[in-house]
Structure 1
């Protein structure tokens, strides 16, 4: 029976390697994330059920050995858990949203996955087979990515020059390619079978192509650092083989010469058109400092100072960023003003998990490196596993300085750590222990428990997501006839009901606004009342989420248009003021609130708000345009004119729409002055 359970666990682990290939665009919102997460969690739950029975049968034989890597991962899990319940939004930290789905509940599955994988495979022979399956599954992802180069519309890539394959994000593809390269390298270095070695080399080529075509600078930088470490270590370990060492130095020298050649020609079309390389060489310290991400890192540090030990809570960077929003970020456009992640694993972890989180995260790498060094010195693993194992750890950490973990990266990172934990420890002596038979009640209880967990936490959320996408399709076809489907979606029992409320509200509001005359007052009111209730429930659940406030503000604006009832203007004012508490310097909120104040005749308050935005950042042309209008409404036409002229005098870069608005305001002011 034990052999059956172990075999079942192995099959489930092999199956998990194909999860990154899952994409169901017609069935799910966020089709690149949701199906992957629910299937992976179901796989791990089934693995945990089998493993639980093995522990009941013989705990000493199957209990995870105490290793430094296990300690490091456990400390990180402890940090994640503590920060979840001490943060500013425990619900969001625990479940996250449909776009990421990396809350504590999912991260616990990755932790369980790490533990079970580390005790399932014991010898290099086991790990070799497992690595080969993982490599083949991952290469399929890379092949699809390469296909997108020739067909940029393939698999919802929307014509992007950077490939996203089945992962939905080019950053994820770059990181996955980095991992697969080191897997292929390790296997090929230890391979004795010529056919397999050829296959592994081909897979390495596709991994490199996938990484390059993803255009991910962090992955390329991590790859270069990893290769440098690899060459350095081999040159040290092969000191008795002069020819090989000289060859390695020669390779290193050629790479260095190539780097300088490309760097000094980085502005040429040839270099700019090399995937990833052009982007990397065009990056400078100055360009980094003058970027939205750099400002987000500053917000991360400032938010950490407010909650230094345990942070704001996992997945709550959005709240921290808003509270410590830097107005300068609007200089890069509205699309760059929203960050739910710092795009730097250290900064992000510092903000959301505090100092404890950063230390525990870094300890994973430190303990992994220590185990590799000890394992090599004591003869538990050979040179190739030590060098390649360490090189990937360093590469992964370096690339994460510019990106963040994702469902696929957690999969392969936990897998790699499990391999280090398994191979770097001494082979345990075979101790004869008595195994207890697994009783029928134990089988039944475990099976029922596994089924209930999968049904409640994976199948139900998947069904809810599918119901929501059906409701969205119905809304676009006929908003009035979709009311029953909307009500059904709002009544669903799922941890992600907050996402469903927000997604449907965002889709419905523009339709009501554009077609309320066709829909009719009664149906429009019914829809708006339903949305108002849903959004208020989200505010109760996430009182810091300014996106909900902005959506509710939009709802009251639509209601005001339909009814001309100033009650909704007052409600909008209250909502805007509350959202401003959670992001005091965000221009988008201030502009909205100032407009409402002007409509209510509170001109002085509106002027004060808009003047404040220019004190925060005097380089935003829109701020001058809005302030000019406010001055004019407040009966100060001269100040309105001088404010408008300041935009041209300071040579602001305006969008075509802003330039058009400037001309319209100027014409109106001059016409009023002539009169």
Structure 2
């Protein structure tokens, strides 16, 4: 019963992608990772408890675990997870690398949960029916993800589910589903297409059965909504994966080759025609076809691509400083702040936006977990690819047509993921099906010969002392992970939104402090930094129309909560105190604004925002010496800045 419960929680974990937690910060993220981690932790508790009280079944699973952990795939995934976590401890902020934050929900704790998910799947899912159920439920989750986007698109909702997102018909519409980000839709649905193919090829009632027709309909919908996401990288990944799968199948089926080649050529011609005639209004009205039409780059697309190249270069420069283990997971923004290059800023175009990711799995892993991390990550895919080169799987593909097709699709999904990952960083929407695929590979490509029976478990009548100790420790560790990794972050994220919604009832600064103190004082390993950041931005807006005493007290309250070594926090404090100085003429506020801007400048010497903030502050105070000093710094870095030239020229004239 306990092992069945563990399977239940693993099945439930795939529904994380459906959750949109409207009561928390980052509603498209916090609820998802809290649910996923909780389900994995509960599955771990049930699994370890099963080893203690149901050894008759438990010994079979221990035997299975001993079999799979010798697999090169299992070893490769284990090494990647270990290096990922280890890189965090060698990074610039180990705690942040491990716990991450609300906005991303990744870090070491997430990788450990994904690894536990992988190990449990590989251990508990020993039969075809287990995987078929997992794939069916994954497709149900994908359908609900799509349903969410459709509800939002038409302005409908079920309770609070479906109240956040983009509506159909708005300019530049791109389908997001329940992800809140269109970039992840095609990658996730590509995995669903593979899972659906496995179910379809294994259908026992033929392709005309209601079940098979249902699968085909779902596959059609997955393709349609992938296109509607308007994600160019995802579309290129799907194309590359499909062509790879066709090439693999054509290698084995010579009499299919001409038809496969014809189909591939027709598909490429169709795409080329769509791109060539993209100006036709009829084509432009088709939702999501922009991902195809954008394959021919316009000026804006080239600018976006240039930005990616710039961020990748910054990632490489940061990696050179810390080559083996990188800066640590989740620490890209610190690398970005310190290694920003002056040539990437244009005074005419403005700064743009901050980057906390390199927006490429390759450059993200290289910069954050170093060369060892990137090599261990790529080694997983090399190991999976080498599986198919083994003689036994080569012979199996020749002997079984359906297996040959599925092996081709397996290669195709790996290529799809890797290609789209060149311009996208990983998140739970991709990690979840990816680690599912890793575990499935251990079932579909077992260490023994195809069809070989599993070895019998040992004849122990009860668990060994080591197994007992490990199980007890595992239960305690999973319970702690559930509390600290899921429950506390969720409650913390919820508490801040709850406090914001109560602002209408606040009458005094003391009321304000008491309201947000409750959120700050709720312990969680993550959250204080982001809550302070959001509150700081809100306070900056609030003080614009408050009396002097209230504005000062609000500024003092949030100042006590902000981090003095965080560039974002320092800039916000600088803005707050500059506003107080401009409104009320307080010299102390001016000095604080200068202090915080200067600290931000010291962190990111080449970042334009602190430099221009100081230049503007001195300009507002008519401080000629400092205006000239900062103006000279600006022109040394960006001599094309005409406005700064004009300001300095006026000073000379005066």
Settle same-fold status: TM greater than 0.5: yes
d(CA) in 1 for partners of 2:117, 2:298: 38
Equivalent position to 1:486, from 502, 516, 520: 516
Deviation at 1:635, TM superposition (A): 4.0
The total of aligned residue pairs comes to 615
Q: Is the 8 A contact 1:590 1:609 kept in 2?
A: yes
Deviation at 1:128, TM superposition (A): 1.9
Change over 3 Å in CA distance of 1:158–1:477 after alignment to 2: farther
Deviation at 1:494, TM superposition (A): 0.8
d(CA) in 2 for partners of 1:164, 1:564: 47
Equivalent position to 1:245, from 239, 257, 266: 257
d(CA) in 2 for partners of 1:304, 1:454: 34
Q: Residue 281 of structure 1: SS of its match in structure 2?
A: coil
d(CA) in 1 for partners of 2:14, 2:336: 34
Q: Is the 8 A contact 2:327 2:335 kept in 1?
A: yes
Q: TM (normalized to structure 2)?
A: 0.87
| Map of 1:39 onto structure 2 | 35
Q: Which moved more, 1:187-196 or 1:200-209?
A: 187-196
Q: Residue 204 of structure 2: SS of its match in structure 1?
A: coil
What are the residue-to-residue correspondences of 1:188-227 with 2, within 5 Å? 188-193=200-205, 194-227=209-242
| Map of 2:89 onto structure 1 | 85
- Indicate yes or no: 2:10 matched with 1:10: no
Deviation at 1:168, TM superposition (A): 1.0
d(CA) in 2 for partners of 1:329, 1:473: 40
Deviation string, structure 1 residues 295-321 (Cα, Å, up to 9, x no partner): 111211221222222111111111111
Deviation string, structure 1 residues 53-102 (Cα, Å, up to 9, x no partner): 35554344544532222222222222212221121222221121211110
- Indicate yes or no: 2:459 matched with 1:433: yes
Deviation string, structure 1 residues 370-403 (Cα, Å, up to 9, x no partner): 2244362364993233211111011101111111
d(CA) in 2 for partners of 1:14, 1:601: 65
Q: Is the 8 A contact 2:574 2:597 kept in 1?
A: yes
| Map of 1:592 onto structure 2 | 613
What are the residue-to-residue correspondences of 1:28-177 with 2, within 5 Å? 28-54=24-50, 57=55, 58=59, 59-63=62-66, 64-151=68-155, 155-159=163-167, 161-177=173-189
| Map of 2:501 onto structure 1 | 473
Deviation at 1:605, TM superposition (A): 3.7
What are the residue-to-residue correspondences of 1:253-332 with 2, within 5 Å? 253-273=265-285, 274-282=289-297, 287=302, 291-331=306-346
Change over 3 Å in CA distance of 1:306–1:62 after alignment to 2: closer
Change over 3 Å in CA distance of 1:267–1:358 after alignment to 2: farther
Deviation string, structure 1 residues 483-511 (Cα, Å, up to 9, x no partner): 21111112121112222222222212210
Q: Is the 8 A contact 1:152 1:158 kept in 2?
A: no
- Indicate yes or no: 2:557 matched with 1:530: yes
d(CA) in 2 for partners of 1:502, 1:297: 27
| Map of 1:24 onto structure 2 | 21
d(CA) in 1 for partners of 2:477, 2:264: 55
Q: Which runs of 5+ in 2 are unaligned?
A: none
- Indicate yes or no: 2:260 matched with 1:234: no
| Map of 1:505 onto structure 2 | 536
Deviation string, structure 1 residues 647-668 (Cα, Å, up to 9, x no partner): xxxxxxxxxxxxxxxxxxxxxx
Change over 3 Å in CA distance of 1:309–1:271 after alignment to 2: farther
Change over 3 Å in CA distance of 1:162–1:334 after alignment to 2: farther
| Map of 2:587 onto structure 1 | 566
Equivalent position to 1:182, from 194, 211, 235: 194
d(CA) in 2 for partners of 1:438, 1:8: 23
Deviation at 1:452, TM superposition (A): 4.5
Change over 3 Å in CA distance of 1:435–1:563 after alignment to 2: farther
d(CA) in 2 for partners of 1:61, 1:337: 49
Deviation string, structure 1 residues 532-565 (Cα, Å, up to 9, x no partner): 1111xx23xxx3x311111121232244346533
d(CA) in 2 for partners of 1:447, 1:53: 7
| Map of 2:382 onto structure 1 | 366
CA-based RMSD of the aligned residues comes to 2.8
Q: Is the 8 A contact 1:149 1:213 kept in 2?
A: no
Deviation string, structure 1 residues 18-72 (Cα, Å, up to 9, x no partner): 11111121x1111111111111111111111222235554344544532222222
d(CA) in 2 for partners of 1:318, 1:263: 36
Deviation string, structure 1 residues 246-266 (Cα, Å, up to 9, x no partner): 322221221132233233334
- Indicate yes or no: 2:653 matched with 1:625: no
Q: Is the 8 A contact 1:307 1:354 kept in 2?
A: yes
Change over 3 Å in CA distance of 1:364–1:477 after alignment to 2: farther
Change over 3 Å in CA distance of 1:317–1:533 after alignment to 2: same
Q: Residue 294 of structure 2: SS of its match in structure 1?
A: helix
Deviation at 1:171, TM superposition (A): 0.9
- Indicate yes or no: 2:363 matched with 1:376: no
Change over 3 Å in CA distance of 1:449–1:337 after alignment to 2: closer
Deviation at 1:469, TM superposition (A): 0.5
d(CA) in 1 for partners of 2:257, 2:99: 51
Q: Is the 8 A contact 2:326 2:366 kept in 1?
A: yes
Change over 3 Å in CA distance of 1:267–1:607 after alignment to 2: farther
Q: Is the 8 A contact 2:65 2:122 kept in 1?
A: no
Q: TM (normalized to structure 1)?
A: 0.84
Q: Residue 424 of structure 2: SS of its match in structure 1?
A: coil
d(CA) in 2 for partners of 1:503, 1:591: 23
d(CA) in 1 for partners of 2:301, 2:498: 47
| Map of 1:408 onto structure 2 | 429
